[in-house]
């Protein structure tokens, strides 16, 4: 390491379309106390990336480097870190939403945001996991406490969070109903979905009943219509803004529960997820990979909303 | 709440002696996404507070508000927080070292830094727990993996970390040797210490042998001398700078392990600690309480190094 090390990073200095992403040299971070420096091998894209790129979102004004999850190798550890050593393969989700920055060759972040990489996955597959699997896990396990035999409705079941949520719900012993466009139904069945709904052909809120848990990755009108599918005491967990101030009152009136959650870093949850992966019960699907230098193309593909599984950028 | 709410906080604008602490009105923080706003009822002092007050330490230049742990009541939750509601009683340790600021009437911090307050403790007792018990837990359980019957040497066993570490080590089934000055030996025995060493009368490194685990809360020379007390394969966990660059080589040469750790926020660890408390196996000792307005006096008392148990400031 020379005295002023740099790295490549997808920096943006203004909000806007994918062209605002500039892959440039920036200073390489150094691990502070309780942090590790990770050489990023692969990092995934999530809808939150293109939303923040376009409007700043929780982050406010650029400049910033997006990217919340990653798979890589520990390069150095800061003072007080006893859990990892240089050379360890790790996955992690940086603290959401303010710990962004994985679309770069290195990240320095608190050691507690990381766990060992599942042995059965390469860096591209592993990078696809953290944000979506933590989201699905925290929605289904922590918030909804899914039990064997319960009916779970997963919206956008072929998407990033959706395809992982289906597998986690099945591993929990649930009966899983997934929504997707017709051409994706074969994929849903491969994931283990018990019932596939083509949201373009039918109104799910008319078709589906007696649901215990809805995982709502769409928000707005979908959240509201989901309430009608629930049994008394059922729960809808939304990971996006709901958009109607009377949503919670409506849930109360129907005798159901409604929760809006953001994903949160948790090495304990990552460890649970890794066990599912290494037990062969959870596998991410990769839609496409792009080298970091082509990250703008990766954003363009993501924004079509038509991919199946995850988009990953690689730094090797 | 008016439009520009303020709060009292122990602000310092320069490093120095306890007089630099000014209890003044500052803006009340607001919870960001994934954060909670907590009305602080009590917050403890730790040696890291007076060290940072005097030299800036990890935090660099003031202005800053010190304080890492607290007990209080959730006042408001940020976007995406589903785990807590206003009115919940919580304890927490802000992310160490950069999440400081509990010596104030309110803190806003990530929800994941908090857990439910043990039901059997009031706010003053509960505020004494987080930093010291997380330190002791992570040293003894995570790093040293203490097993029943092992010999554990706890330095400064009547101090903040020490008196909690003794109780945790006993709960883990260890044989506990504690060091303290003679007048504190009755207290050590009340805590459950099996063997008390007066470090002013004897050289512990000559007296103690075949130790499995040393919890070193002193650092420097004590770390080095602790190596000699270990059995082959034993471990010393130090929570302070060791001060000798050849320390790890010396440990290697002796066939023992040496780890330097910083405490890390963990709601899972806090939950384990809360279970010990509610099972009656762990109880903090309060040396003295001070109202926030007298925090300079609290620092002065702490710096004497002669207290037994914890110093707590109260905001009620």
Domain ranges within chain A, ordered by starting residue? 6-129+284-314, 132-260
pLDDT band at residue A316 under the 50/70/90 scheme: confident
Q: Name the average pLDDT for chain A.
A: 96
Given a contact cutoff of 8 angstroms between Cβ atoms, the answer to whether B213 and B235 are in contact is yes
A291-307 tens-digit pLDDT: 999 999 999 999 998 89
**Interface predicted TM-score (ipTM) of this complex, two decimals:** 0.94
d(CA B205, CA A313): 54
Q: What is the pLDDT of residue A219?
A: 87
Find, among B193, B180, B186, B181, the residue nearest to B151 by Cα.
Answer: B193
Q: Scanning the structure block, which residue is given the tokens 């359980």?
A: B141
Phi-psi bin for B149: left (phi > 0), alpha (psi -120 to 50), beta? left
A156-204 tens-digit pLDDT: 999 999 999 999 999 999 999 999 999 999 999 999 999 999 999 999 9
**Cβ contact (<8 Å) for A80 and B33?**
no
**Cβ contact (<8 Å) for B34 and A96?**
yes
**Cβ contact (<8 Å) for A82 and B261?**
yes
Q: Of A48, A80, A237, A272, which to mutate for an interface test with B (greatest number of B Cβ within 10 Å)?
A: A80
Q: Scanning the structure block, which residue is given the tokens 């660059």?
A: B245
List chain B residues with CB under 8 Å of A32. 58, 98
**Cβ contact (<8 Å) for B143 and A82?**
yes
Q: Within 13 A of B274's CA, how many CA atoms are on the CB side?
A: 20
Phi-psi bin for B182: left (phi > 0), alpha (psi -120 to 50), beta? alpha
List chain A residues with CB under 8 Å of B142. 82-83
Q: How many CB atoms lie within 10 A of CB A314?
A: 17
For residue B57, the chain A residue with the least C-alpha distance is A33
d(CA A241, CA B215): 47
**Cβ contact (<8 Å) for A80 and B261?**
yes
pLDDT band at residue A3 under the 50/70/90 scheme: low
pLDDT band at residue A1 under the 50/70/90 scheme: very low
Chain CA centroid to CA B66, Å: 14
**Cβ contact (<8 Å) for A80 and B142?**
no
Strand residues in chain A grouped as ranges (E) = 6-12, 22-27, 35-45, 64-65, 69-77, 89-93, 106-110, 114-116, 151-154, 175-180, 195-198, 211-216, 230-238, 257-260, 286-291, 310-314
B136-161 tens-digit pLDDT: 999 999 999 999 999 999 999 999 99
pLDDT band at residue A241 under the 50/70/90 scheme: confident
The interface residues of chain B toward chain A in range 81-140, judged by CB-CB distance below 8 A, are 81-83, 95-98, 110-112
The interface residues of chain A toward chain B in range 191-220, judged by CB-CB distance below 8 A, are none
Range A132-260: architecture per CATH: 3-Layer(aba) Sandwich (3.40)
Structure tokens at B78: 């940020």
Given a contact cutoff of 8 angstroms between Cβ atoms, the answer to whether A258 and A248 are in contact is yes
List chain A residues with CB under 8 Å of B265. 112
B55-91 tens-digit pLDDT: 999 999 999 999 999 999 999 999 999 999 999 999 9
**Cβ contact (<8 Å) for A79 and B268?**
no
Q: What is the pLDDT of residue B3?
A: 62
Chain CA centroid to CA B210, Å: 27
Q: Of B33, B34, B52, B270, which to mutate for an interface test with A (greatest number of A Cβ within 10 Å)?
A: B34
List chain B residues with CB under 8 Å of A58. 32-33
* Long-range Cβ pairs for the range A47-52 (8 Å, 24+): A47/A160, A47/A302, A48/A96, A48/A97, A48/A131, A49/A103, A49/A299, A49/A302, A50/A18, A50/A299, A50/A302, A50/A303, A52/A97, A52/A100
List CB contacts of A279: < 8 A, sequence separation 6 or more. none
Find, among B199, B160, B167, the residue nearest to B180 by Cα.
Answer: B199
Q: What is the CATH number of domain B6-129+284-314?
A: 3.90.180.10
Q: What is the pLDDT along chain B (316 residues), one digit of tens a residue?
A: 456 899 999 999 999 999 999 999 999 999 999 999 999 999 999 999 999 999 999 999 999 999 999 999 999 999 999 999 999 999 999 999 999 999 999 999 999 999 999 999 999 999 999 999 999 999 999 999 999 999 999 999 999 999 999 999 999 999 999 999 999 999 999 999 999 999 999 999 999 999 999 999 998 889 999 999 999 999 999 999 887 888 999 999 999 999 999 999 999 999 999 999 999 999 999 999 999 999 999 999 999 988 999 999 999 8
Closest residue to B34, CB basis, from A82, A262, A268: A262
Structure tokens at B242: 């060791």
Q: How many CB atoms lie within 10 A of CB B57?
A: 15
For residue A260, the chain B residue with the least C-alpha distance is B80
Q: What is the pLDDT of residue A301?
A: 98
Q: What is the pLDDT of residue B1?
A: 47
**Cβ contact (<8 Å) for B259 and A32?**
no
List chain A residues with CB under 8 Å of B98. 32
d(CA A76, CA B181): 40
d(CA B315, CA B72): 10
Q: What is the pLDDT of residue B20?
A: 98
**Cβ contact (<8 Å) for A261 and B112?**
no
**Is the pLDDT at A120 greater than 70, yes or no?**
yes
Q: What is the largest CA-CA distance in chain B?
A: 64
């Amino acid at each position: 390491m020379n005295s002023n090390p740099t790295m490549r990073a997808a920096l943006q200095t203004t909000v806007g379309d994918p062209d605002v992403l500039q892959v440039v040299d920036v200073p390489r971070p150094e691990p502070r106390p309780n942090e590790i420096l990770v050489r990023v091998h692969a990092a995934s894209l999530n809808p939150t990336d293109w939303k923040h790129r376009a409007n700043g979102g929780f982050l406010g004004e650029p400049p910033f480097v997006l990217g919340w999850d990653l798979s890589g190798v520990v390069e150095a550890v800061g003072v007080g870190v006893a859990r990892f050593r240089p050379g360890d393969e790790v996955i992690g989700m940086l603290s959401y939403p303010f710990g962004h920055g994985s679309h770069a060759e290195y990240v320095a972040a608190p050691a507690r945001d990381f766990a060992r990489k599942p042995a059965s996955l390469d860096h591209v597959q592993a990078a696809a996991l953290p944000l979506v699997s933590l989201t699905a896990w925290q929605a289904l396990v922590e918030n909804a406490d899914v039990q064997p035999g319960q009916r779970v409705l997963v919206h956008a079941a072929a998407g990033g969070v959706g395809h992982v949520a289906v597998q986690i719900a099945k591993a929990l012993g649930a009966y899983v109903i997934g929504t997707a466009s017709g051409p994706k139904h074969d994929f849903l069945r491969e994931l283990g979905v018990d019932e596939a709904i083509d949201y373009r052909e039918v109104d799910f809120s008319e078709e589906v009943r007696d649901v215990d848990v809805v995982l709502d990755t769409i928000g707005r009108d979908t959240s509201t219509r989901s309430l009608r599918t629930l049994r008394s005491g059922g729960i809808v967990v939304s990971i996006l803004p709901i958009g109607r101030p009377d949503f919670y009152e409506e849930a109360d009136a129907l005798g159901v529960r409604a929760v809006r959650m953001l994903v949160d870093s948790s090495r304990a949850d990552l460890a649970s997820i890794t066990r599912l992966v290494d037990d062969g019960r959870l596998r991410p699907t990769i839609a496409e990979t792009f080298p970091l230098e082509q990250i703008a193309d990766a954003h363009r593909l993501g924004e079509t909303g038509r991919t199946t599984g995850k988009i990953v950028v690689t730094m090797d």
